[in-house]
């Protein structure tokens, strides 16, 4: 058993509490990781607000991290002690029908199919003050040490800086892949990205790398426009500056709507606006933002009948175990610069300050260091 620090969420709506926790050794098929860095993602905040399904409290959140394998248990073959790794918020068991489908990046062991509040054997490796603490997405990266199933961890290049590539565990990969994999943005096309947080700006990077000729960044926080342009946006639009709906503004700007639109906020109204803003016949709209549990969207079916495509994406369409290491290699080869998304680096003790920066719109990505 290892005693270490972790940021524990004891209840919905309460600040995280830095605690000493006990982390049990890994059981068969499991890996114990010493976390080095972890990003703060909007999804973690959604849990704290009670908007994420099937999460039991108390829980150790965090799902965008990088670390070093401390030990492995019986049966583990893909990683060994000392390996640099990224825990996978979308597992890759390699055996289910989704994992065996080359066009799918989902896994039937994913938290959207079965709860991941406990490890697969239905027990926890975390205790604090004599109480069982729940896991989150099986990876719980807000703990200095965490235990994960082997199919929820990927070995990465030993040269990778963990305080930078941790973003590839969720936020960057999700946004970048939304453009590259889900939308399959074509060279010379026009794109609109709704929401300029870490994932939205990663989408902007993806659109630029894919060769889009025009990338319209949409946000009500004009303070994010400079960063959006630095990353590749050609236009920045604040819906508050117009009296007409934003979809009409974008249609006027482009003549017939954009080729690809991305909703990276998680609001029902902006999802329908993003759909309406793309070309009525060949436009593709990708849902990227996490909508609070129980939300319902109403929309005019003619928006789809005319030919538009509306789709969602999980982790940007990447098959995690295979693709996350390749993305790390692309990072090392400077095919993209995700470092520009990191606006704050904080010690784990300032985790609540990191969430306050996120909620105030003052950060793009805060990275916590152990």
DSSP 32-46: EEEEEEEE--HHHHH
Residue 209 · residue 185 · CB < 8 Å: no
pLDDT value for 140: 98
pLDDT value for 113: 81
DSSP strand pairing (17-23 vs 30-39): unpaired
**pLDDT score of 292 more than 90:** no
Q: In what order do the strands lie in the sheet with 309-312?
A: 235-237, 214-218, 190-194, 260-263, 284-287, 309-312
pTM equals 0.96
Residue 277 · residue 242 · CB < 8 Å: no
What is the tens place of the pLDDT at every residue in 81-133?
A: 999 999 999 999 999 999 999 999 999 999 878 889 999 999 999 999 999 99
Average pLDDT, the chain: 96
**pLDDT score of 52 more than 90:** no
Answer whether CATH 3.90.180.10 is correct for domain 2-171+317-369. Answer: yes
The percent of residues in the chain predicted with pLDDT above 70, rounded, is: 100
What is the tens place of the pLDDT at every residue in 329-360?
A: 999 999 999 999 999 999 999 999 999 999 99
Average pLDDT over residues 266-280: 96
Parse the chain into domains and list their residue ranges: 2-171+317-369, 183-312
DSSP letters spanning 31-92: EEEEEEEEE--HHHHHHHTT-STT--SSEE---SEEEEEEEE-TT--S--TT-EEEE-SS--
List the Cα angle 110/115/118 in 5-degree steps. 110
Question: Between residues 168 and 296, which one has the greater pLDDT?
Answer: 168
- Rounded Cα–Cα distance for residues 175 and 70 (Å): 30
Homologous superfamily in CATH for domain 183-312: NAD(P)-binding Rossmann-like Domain (3.40.50.720)
Band of pLDDT at residue 51, cut at 50, 70 and 90: confident
């Amino acid at each position: 058993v290892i005693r270490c620090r972790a940021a524990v969420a004891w209840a919905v709506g309460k600040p995280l509490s830095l605690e000493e926790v006990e982390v049990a050794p890994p059981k068969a098929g499991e890996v114990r990781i010493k976390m080095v860095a972890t990003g703060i993602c909007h999804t973690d905040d959604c849990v704290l607000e009670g908007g994420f399904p099937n999460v039991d409290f108390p829980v150790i959140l965090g799902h965008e991290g990088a670390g070093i394998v401390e030990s492995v248990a019986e049966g583990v073959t893909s990683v060994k002690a000392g390996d640099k790794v990224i825990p996978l918020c979308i597992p890759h068991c390699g055996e289910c029908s989704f994992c065996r489908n080359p066009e799918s990046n989902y896994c039937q062991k994913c938290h959207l199919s079965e709860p991941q509040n406990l490890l697969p054997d239905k027990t926890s490796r975390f205790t604090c003050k004599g109480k069982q603490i729940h896991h989150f997405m099986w990876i719980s990266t807000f703990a200095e040490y965490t235990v994960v199933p082997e199919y929820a961890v990927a070995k990465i290049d030993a040269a990778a800086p963990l305080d930078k590539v941790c973003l590839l565990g969720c936020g960057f990969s999700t946004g970048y892949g939304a453009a590259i994999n889900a939308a399959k943005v074509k060279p010379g096309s026009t794109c609109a990205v709704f929401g300029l947080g870490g994932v939205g700006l990663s989408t902007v990077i993806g659109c630029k790398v894919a060769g889009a000729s025009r990338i319209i960044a949409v946000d009500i926080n004009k303070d994010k426009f400079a960063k959006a342009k630095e990353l590749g946006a050609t236009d920045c639009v604040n819906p508050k500056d117009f009296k007409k709906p934003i979809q009409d503004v974008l249609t006027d700007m482009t003549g017939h709507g954009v080729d690809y639109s991305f909703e990276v906020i998680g609001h029902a109204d902006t999802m329908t606006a993003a759909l309406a803003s793309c070309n009525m016949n060949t436009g593709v709209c990708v849902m990227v933002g996490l909508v609070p549990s129980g939300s319902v969207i109403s929309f005019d079916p003619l928006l789809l009948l005319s030919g538009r495509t509306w789709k969602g994406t999980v982790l940007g369409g990447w098959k995690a175990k295979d693709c996350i290491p390749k993305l790390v290699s692309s990072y090392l080869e400077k095919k993209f610069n995700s470092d520009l998304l990191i606006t704050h680096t904080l010690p784990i003790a300032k985790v609540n300050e990191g969430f306050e920066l996120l909620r105030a719109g003052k950060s793009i990505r805060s990275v916590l260091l152990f």
